[in-house]
């Protein structure tokens, strides 16, 4: 059965959550990956049941308490982020205080100690205007391949290929429903391999024909901001050339 990387990740999360449920049923206290998987899976299933984001987050916060996990876990796991499929599309669910409001020991083993210096956001190389056409807010995290962001975000997809938000690592940008904002983007670093996300690339970003293929996939899936790039292009034919991508000022 062919599965996308996102679907494989979802099955891996479910398997880890099932292991956590079985161990919890035997009276064992959960460790960090077990607790994380169980809470994240609970939110994903709540979304699948048709709950809205706020209700899904509350269900996730209520599944485990401090007595259900090993010592130190509540000091390490202060927020869990998972992409869940809601009725209005895929959204990032950030479960803060996953075990309920608690006083934490900053010196506990494994506790995260933030640096005192503020990390500055990188200088953008591209500025794009983005409109959220969805009826709900959409958040995009710092290192998400912006080209593959929520299909209801309307912006120049071709110009965003191979780029991410020009914000500090670990942060995110929120696009309110119906709002139009400008965002800065910077190139994805490292080996520039995009695996997962929305499954539009799943490989090296700079491979020959990768951009044209990603644009075709986005158009076929109904992503906004792509149709103008592909005007007159055959979505089932050969890879788009740079000239085709440049027509209309989109490259």
pLDDT digits (tens, 9 = 90+) for 24-39: 999 999 999 999 999 9
Q: How far is CA 200 from CA 67, 121, 212, in A?
A: 42, 26, 11
CA atoms of 183 and 208, how far apart (whole Å): 28
Close Cβ partners of 38 (under 8 Å, ≥ 6 residues apart): 16, 17, 20, 21, 24, 30, 63, 64
Residue 52 clears pLDDT 50, i.e. is over it: yes
- Return the pLDDT at 171: 84
For the chain, give percent helix, strand, coil, nearest 5.
Answer: 30, 20, 50
CB crowding 77-115: b at 16 or more within 10 Å, else e = beebbbbbebeeebbbbbbeebbeeeeeeeeeeeeeeee
The model scores a pTM over 0.85 = no
CA atoms of 145 and 113, how far apart (whole Å): 28
Q: Decide which of 7 and 88 is more confident.
A: 7
pLDDT digits (tens, 9 = 90+) for 151-164: 999 999 999 999 99
- Return the pLDDT at 169: 83
Residue 76 clears pLDDT 70, i.e. is over it: yes
- Return the pLDDT at 234: 42
Residue 114 clears pLDDT 80, i.e. is over it: no
Q: How far is CA 91 from CA 30, 115, 181, 185, 188, in A?
A: 27, 29, 19, 20, 21
Give, for 57, the enclosing helix (H) or strand (E): helix 53-61
- Return the pLDDT at 90: 84
CA atoms of 93 and 119, how far apart (whole Å): 24
- Region 73-99: mean pLDDT is 89
């Amino acid at each position: 059965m062919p599965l996308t990387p996102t679907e494989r990740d979802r099955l891996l999360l479910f398997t880890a959550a099932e292991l956590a449920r079985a161990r919890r049923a035997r009276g064992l206290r959960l460790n960090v990956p077990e607790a994380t998987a169980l809470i994240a899976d609970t939110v994903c299933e709540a979304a699948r049941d048709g709950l809205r984001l706020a209700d899904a987050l509350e269900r996730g916060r209520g599944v485990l308490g401090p007595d259900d996990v090993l010592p130190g876990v509540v000091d390490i796991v202060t927020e869990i982020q998972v992409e869940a499929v809601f009725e209005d599309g895929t959204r990032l669910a950030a479960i803060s205080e996953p075990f309920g409001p608690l006083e934490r020991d900053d010196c506990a083993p494994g506790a995260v100690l933030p640096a005192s210096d503020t990390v500055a956001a990188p200088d953008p190389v591209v500025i794009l205007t983005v409109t959220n056409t969805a009826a709900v807010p959409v958040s995009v995290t710092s290192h998400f391949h912006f080209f593959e962001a929520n299909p209801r975000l309307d912006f120049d997809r071709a110009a965003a290929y191979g780029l991410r938000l020009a914000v500090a690592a670990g942060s995110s940008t929120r696009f309110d429903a119906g709002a139009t904002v400008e965002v800065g983007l910077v190139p994805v670093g490292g080996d520039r391999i995009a695996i997962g996300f929305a499954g539009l690339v799943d490989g090296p970003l700079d491979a020959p024909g990768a951009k044209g293929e990603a644009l075709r996939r986005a158009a076929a899936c109904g992503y906004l901001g792509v149709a103008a790039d592909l005007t007159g292009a055959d979505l089932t034919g050969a890879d788009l050339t740079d000239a085709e991508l440049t027509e209309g000022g989109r490259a």
